[in-house]
Amino acid sequence: MGAARVDPLTPDERSERMRRIRSRDTKPELLVRRLVHGMGYRYRLSNPSLPGKPDLVFKSRKKAIFVHGCFWHQHGCGNYKMPRTRLGFWLPKLAANKRRDEKVQRELRDLGWDVLVIWECEIREDLVGVQKKIVDFLEEDS
């Protein structure tokens, strides 16, 4: 293993860059929303009364879709790089994100909701497959 890489940005510059990362209305989320709308489905956004505030909510069907970034939610697809510095910060943070996702999905299922997670890499690699996955999910009986 090589020497630790030094961050070329100052702490203030890194902080500013991290602050700009969106938690909603991300490019993958907007793409999925356009895709779902184009298929004729209507939905609500980020219902705060539901655990985890799903990205797309289909209340009459009791179905919820999350659009997850592979890095932030630790998909394991390998389409992202783990930080080389500050692992004492990143590893617990990312592990907590993953635990929270599991807890939120369990809570939704306990409330009688069906949950679908669409990963950022799926959108990038196979949009037709994502479309089929969404139709199958929304059309299946609960």
Domain locations in the chain as residue ranges: 23-139
Provide the CA 115 distance to its chain's centre, in angstroms.
Answer: 12
Nearest CA to 66 out of 77, 92, 142, 75 is that of 75
| Spatial distance between the Cα atoms of 52 and 66, rounded to a whole number of angstroms | 9
Mind listing the pLDDT tens digit for each residue in 121-134? 999 999 999 999 99
Domain covering 23-139, topology: Endonuclease; Chain A (3.40.960)
Task: Please give the average per-residue pLDDT across 97-113, as a whole number.
Answer: 97
Is a pLDDT exceeding 60 seen at residue 1? Answer: no
Bigger pLDDT: 102 vs 47: 102
- Beta strand ranges found along the chain (DSSP E): 44-45, 56-58, 63-68, 114-119
Band (pLDDT 50/70/90 cuts) for residue 65 is: very high
Please give the mean pLDDT across all residues of the chain. 88
- Per-residue model confidence (pLDDT) at position 17: 63
- Per-residue model confidence (pLDDT) at position 74: 92
